[in-house]
């Protein structure tokens, strides 16, 4: 069903997992996405991490705030289409100056077959920036580690709200076959 | 068992919080925040002034991070309706130290007392139960409040949702701080963490 059109050969999901572990991230709220599937599997396999499956992405923003109030680090995983769902909830992050680390797999920007993904995918970065969430972007597999590490450092050591966009070119466009 | 006169929200909140010790309380925007403030400001209170639909998930994140602390989320029926998915998420996580108290008057009191979905159709305790919350109770009488007070201060019994039927009377507003940065810092410091 899902073929890889990407060129990245490195195991970037493992790299992300290692960085989250090294930063003592515990709570990992997520709405599943194909691009995050391997990372989600690794998080479920780690007894020190707490995956939290959500019904909608905005729950994850609120959960991240609660985790931080209780002294625990979190990373929110979602797909670009979910970012729009979070917009008002990001008021919580801004009004209370909570740190945030969210890792977003992109749809609707590179070889996208499904036009319904394009409206939100093409405005994902703006949606974050509208709510003053700092955006970093990884275009290639080689960029993932450095970018996620930089974001984690800004979030957990600097108290900044940061989103990392993992490009569709990196993830690989989903190919629908009849 | 029931006296069937709807309860006074301020009296309910004051009663269930009267014996609080290490409890952390989060309140949803609007009347629940005023009720929590009216019961007495406390460094373990976290008042929401926005983020509607997120109160229960804030409580969940905190309950997971601090499993030995009782965590209460106090909310209105409008907040519960906007964040219904949280019941399903909480049922996946089963935090033993999280209670949700819904003050249900079937009204959007903050915006002109429009009827909410609970006024004639939706049963939030049944919604929570159907989502998998193991303990859900509807309270209509004052006599049950002592038990709720005890329950919300306990940890180790699994997540619970209490729907308390209150009257629709408008109460004088009791406005706590709206400074989210201060409220965050105050609670974190109270729990032993640095303010940021």
DSSP states of B51-99 = -TT-HHHHHHHHHHH-TTS-EEEEEEHHHHHHTTHHHHHHHHH--TTEE
Q: Count CA atoms closer than 13 A to B165's CA, side-chain side.
A: 14
Answer whether A29's CB lies under 8 Å from A77's CB.
yes
For residue B113, give the CATH number of its domain. Answer: 3.40.50.970
B70 in contact with A, Cβ within 8 Å: no
Contacts of B92 (CB under 8 A, 6+ apart): A52, A53, B132
Do residues A74 and A51 touch, judged by C-beta distance below 8 A?
Answer: no
Tell me the pTM. Answer: 0.95
Count of the separate structural domains present in chain B = 1
**Which ipTM value was assigned to this complex?**
0.96
Instruction: Tell me whether residue B79 is in a domain.
Output: yes
Per the structure block, which two tokens stand in for B146? 């002592």
DSSP A78-96: EEHHHHGGGTTTHHHHHHH
How much is the pLDDT for B161?
98
Q: Encoding tokens for residue B101? A: 């108290």
Which of these, A156, A173, A175, A165, lies nearest to A79 by C-alpha position?
A: A165
A12-171 placed in CATH 3.40.50.970: yes
Contact across the interface for A96 and B64, Cβ inside 8 Å:
no
CB atoms within 10 A of CB A71: 15
- Answer whether residue B63 is part of any domain: yes
Arithmetic mean of pLDDT over chain A: 93
Q: By C-alpha distance, which of A132, A151, A136, A31 is closest to A91?
A: A132
Q: Is B62 on the interface with A (CB under 8 A)?
A: yes
Q: Note down the domain range covering B148.
A: 9-190
Mutate to test the interface with A, among B46, B52, B58 (most CBs of A within 10 A): B58
Cross-chain Cβ contact A71/B188 below 8 Å: yes
pLDDT on residue B156: 85
CB nearest to A58's CB, from B53, B62, B66 = B53
What is the Rg, in whole angstroms, of the alpha carbon atoms belonging to chain B?
15
**pLDDT by residue for chain B (196 residues), tens digit each?**
444 678 999 999 999 999 999 999 999 999 999 999 999 999 999 999 999 999 999 999 999 999 999 999 999 999 999 999 999 999 999 999 999 999 999 999 889 999 999 999 999 999 999 999 999 999 999 999 999 999 999 998 889 999 999 999 989 999 999 999 999 999 999 999 999 9
Closest-CA distance of chain A to residue B128, Å:
14
Is residue A65 classed as helix, strand or coil in its secondary structure? Answer: helix
Give, in order, the Cα–Cα distances in Å from B45 to each of A17, A57, B24, B163, B185: 34, 25, 6, 20, 12
* Sequence ranges of the domains in chain A: 12-171
């Amino acid at each position: 069903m899902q073929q890889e059109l990407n060129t990245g050969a490195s195991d970037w999901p493992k790299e992300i997992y290692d960085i989250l572990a090294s930063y003592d991230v515990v709570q990992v709220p997520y709405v599943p996405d194909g691009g995050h599937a391997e990372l989600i599997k690794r998080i479920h396999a780690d007894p020190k991490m707490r995956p939290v499956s959500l019904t909608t992405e905005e729950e994850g923003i609120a959960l991240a705030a609660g985790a931080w109030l209780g002294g625990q680090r979190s990373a929110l995983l979602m797909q670009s289409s979910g970012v729009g769902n979070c917009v008002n909830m990001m008021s919580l992050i801004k009004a209370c100056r909570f740190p945030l680390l969210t890792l977003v797999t992109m749809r609707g920007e590179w070889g996208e077959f499904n036009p319904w993904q394009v409206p939100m995918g093409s405005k994902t970065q703006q949606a974050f920036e509208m709510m003053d969430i700092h955006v970093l972007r990884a275009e290639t597999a080689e960029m993932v580690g450095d970018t996620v590490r930089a974001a984690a450092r800004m979030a957990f050591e600097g108290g900044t709200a940061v989103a990392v966009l993992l490009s569709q070119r990196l993830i690989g466009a989903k190919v629908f076959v009849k | 068992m029931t006296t069937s006169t709807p309860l006074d929200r301020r009296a309910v909140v004051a009663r269930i919080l009267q014996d609080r010790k290490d409890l952390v309380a989060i309140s949803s925007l609007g009347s629940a925040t005023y009720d929590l403030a009216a019961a007495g400001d406390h460094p373990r209170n976290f008042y929401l002034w926005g983020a509607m639909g997120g109160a229960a998930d804030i409580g969940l994140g905190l309950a997971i991070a601090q499993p030995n602390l009782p965590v209460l989320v106090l909310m209105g029926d409008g907040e519960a309706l906007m964040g219904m998915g949280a019941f399903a998420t909480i049922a996946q996580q089963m935090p033993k130290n999280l209670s949700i108290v819904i003050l249900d008057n079937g009204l959007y009191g903050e915006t002109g007392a429009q009827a909410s979905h609970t006024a004639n159709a939706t049963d939030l305790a049944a919604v929570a139960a159907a989502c998998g919350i193991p303990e859900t109770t509807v309270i209509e009488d004052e006599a049950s409040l002592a038990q709720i007070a005890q329950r919300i201060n306990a940890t180790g019994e699994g997540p619970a949702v209490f729907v308390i039927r209150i009257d629709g009377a408008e109460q004088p507003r009791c406005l706590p701080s709206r400074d989210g940065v201060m409220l965050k810092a105050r609670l974190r410091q109270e729990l032993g963490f640095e303010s940021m």
